[in-house]
Amino acid sequence: MMITFKPRSLTFFVFIAFSIWCSSLLEPCDARKGGKQYWRQNKGASASALRKEQKGYGGNHHRHQAGPRVSTTPSRGDNYITPEETAAKLQKKGGGNSNVFNVLDYGAKGDGKADDTKAFEAAWAAACKVQASTINVPSGSVFLVKPISFSGPNCEANIVFQLDGKIIAPTSSGDWGSGLLQWLEFTKLKGISIKGKGIIDGQGSVWWSDSPTYNIPADQTYSSSQDTVIESDSGKMPSTKPTALRFYGSDGVSVTGITLQNSPQAHLKFDACTNVQVSDISISSPGDSPNTDGIHLQNSQDVVIFGTSIACGDDCISIQTGCSNIYVHNVNCGPGHGVSIGGLGKDNTKACVSNVTVRDVKMHNTLTGVRIKTWQGGSGSVQNIMFSNIQVSEVATPIMIDQFYCDKSKCQNETSAVAVSGVNYVNIQGTYTTKPVHFACSDSLPCTGVSLDTIQLKSVDEGKQLYGPFCWEAYGELKTSTVPEIDCLKKGKPYSSSTGAQSGSNDSC
């Protein structure tokens, strides 16, 4: 029997055959449209089709021989991510070519128990290679970091340490060897900033427990930030106590916003630095914690400190030899030992300090207010000093110059001294608990150019004054009347009987 095909059926089979031939190609084919439309679609081929072809997910492995070359450019329909979106993700994560380096991306755990030192070192090494980079220490995490030095001779300039989390020091004696002078150190950098709302906690109570002035038992110490006991390990902590945060040999240093607490010794130190700014930070440790200076300056110039609150067991701010052009204002101090220049000239050394202004400072429950202290036997000078607008409350001795400073039970008498001249006190007011003014100057090199203007100091115990103002070999002038009356200041300039000339200088600085 002869089989016949109707034209309509023949057309159907031709369409089916053409469709099968099209499906043998990599890309879809629309039989209803012309070649131009086909090639336009082929140029937009998806990357997923290419991946399936490479992995052999179905289809004929020889299809590429029959069809045109497939583009590897992903289409927007295939989870396409723009370069801008990629950059934004890297910026948020702190990786790739971004200039933000998050310590979590370098292995930090941030649980307060795991050692995160290597992660900080790795993040620093990466940030050093990028100018104006930022190291991110994120909030919500506690990072245990052992002693570390962030060194910068080969680092790019203007690195920012964005501290919003908490960094804690180890409390095991084994992590400190025979003793170190600092815990976190930044050295030889050009433009370094630490800023944020984070905390640097030195956990110093394990170090203070051997001090006779500290009242916590040696085998059990407490964290002021938590209601938990910090257990000391069986090993005794080294006798050398570290500074929590130190900058050395750096220019353009900024510390802003952070909190430093419970340092084993000084909290924040600048040594051989220039162009330093410290603002809006908080420093705290117990009033009986030994030698815990708030801010310590040495061999540094052009320093501004303002908007800062300091409570510690030693000087709130200590200004040592080699410092000049120091400006301190709007600072709260107490408990502590006040703002001090010195001690200078220890072990017969030469010391030079000049151009220091301390103003708009409030002090409460401190050992001294504004003080200059020098050792016998030293040389050099302290000159051009201004203390103004100082408000004191329950301060033992608000105004002091002591050229017989000694932190031991006995010190040897010596004739040489660091010269003190050009010291101005303006608008010092408030209450004291022991003595309002104490000027103890060298017999061989008296203090000169001391001026007092608007001094209003009253005993905490109204009507009972334990000690009046004290002056020894102090020369200067009263520019206004004072409370209490200060009548012990000598006028003019001292005369040296040995040289027949006016004295008041020693080894030009």
Helices in 56-167 by DSSP H: which ranges?
63-66, 83-93, 117-127
Confidence of residue 37 (pLDDT cuts 50, 70, 90): very low
Among positive and negative, which fits the CA dihedral 119, 124, 130, 136? positive
CATH number of the domain at 101-207+240-491, please? 2.160.20.10
Q: Say what the pTM is.
A: 0.78
Q: How many CA atoms lie within 13 A of 312 on its CB side?
A: 33
Q: Would the pLDDT of 62 be above 60?
A: no
Q: Give every CB contact of residue 29 below 8 A, 6+ residues apart in sequence.
A: 22, 23, 38
Cβ-count burial of 461 within 10 angstroms (0-12 exposed, 13-18 middle, 19+ buried)? exposed
Q: Can you tell me the mean pLDDT for 184-210?
A: 95
Q: Can you tell me the mean pLDDT for 348-353?
A: 97
Confidence of residue 503 (pLDDT cuts 50, 70, 90): low
Q: Can you tell me the mean pLDDT for 255-261?
A: 98
Overall size of the chain counted in residues? 509
Rounded distance, CA 260 to CA 199, Å?
6
Q: Give every CB contact of residue 132 below 8 A, 6+ residues apart in sequence.
A: 99, 156, 157, 158, 159, 160
Tell me if 233 sits within 8 A of 173, measured CB to CB: yes
Q: Can you tell me the mean pLDDT for 84-97?
A: 44
Rounded distance, CA 153 to CA 190, Å?
9
Q: Would the pLDDT of 498 be above 50?
A: no
Task: Name the nearest CA neighbour of 357 among 302, 316, 402, 313.
Answer: 302
Tokens 């007011």 found at: 429
Partners of 317 in beta bridges? 295, 339
Q: Would the pLDDT of 164 be above 90?
A: yes
Confidence of residue 63 (pLDDT cuts 50, 70, 90): very low
Rounded distance, CA 48 to CA 50, Å?
5
Confidence of residue 213 (pLDDT cuts 50, 70, 90): low
The pair phi, psi for residue 159, each rounded to 5°, is -90, 135
Report which of residues 461 and 373 the model is more confident about: 373
Q: What angle do CA 387, 393, 398 make, to 5 degrees?
A: 40
Tell me if 469 sits within 8 A of 436, measured CB to CB: yes
Tell me if 323 sits within 8 A of 303, measured CB to CB: yes
Q: Would the pLDDT of 94 be above 60?
A: no
Q: Which whole-number Å values give the CA distances from 189 to 101, 125, 183, in the listed order?
A: 18, 13, 17
Task: Give the per-residue pLDDT at 487.
Answer: 94
Q: Can you tell me the mean pLDDT for 84-93?
A: 43
Q: Would the pLDDT of 234 be above 50?
A: no
Task: Give the per-residue pLDDT at 235.
Answer: 73
Tell me if 321 sits within 8 A of 349, measured CB to CB: yes
**Window from 35-39, 136-140, 239-243, 325-329 with minimum mean pLDDT:** 35-39
Give the DSSP letter string of 216-278: S-TT-EE-TTSSSEEPP-SSPPPSSPPEEEEEES-EEEEEES-EEE--SS-SEEEES-EEEEE
Q: Give every CB contact of residue 212 below 8 A, 6+ residues apart in sequence.
A: none
Task: Give the per-residue pLDDT at 29.
Answer: 39
Reported as a single tens digit per residue, the pLDDT across 102-138 is 999 999 999 999 999 999 999 999 999 999 999 999 9
What's the whole-number average pLDDT of the chain? 82
Task: Give the per-residue pLDDT at 493.
Answer: 84
Reported as a single tens digit per residue, the pLDDT across 448-490 is 999 999 999 999 987 676 789 999 999 999 999 999 999 999 9
Rounded distance, CA 74 to CA 83, Å?
13
Q: Can you tell me the mean pLDDT for 17-24?
A: 50
Share of the chain above pLDDT 70, in %: 73
Q: Would the pLDDT of 495 be above 80?
A: no
Rounded distance, CA 345 to CA 320, Å?
10
Rounded distance, CA 316 to CA 294, Å?
5
Catalytic residue positions?
314, 337
Task: Name the nearest CA neighbour of 279 among 255, 310, 303, 250.
Answer: 255
Query: So where are the chain's domains?
Result: 101-207+240-491
Reported as a single tens digit per residue, the pLDDT across 285-311 is 999 999 999 999 999 999 999 999 999
> In the 8-state DSSP scheme, what is residue 433?
S
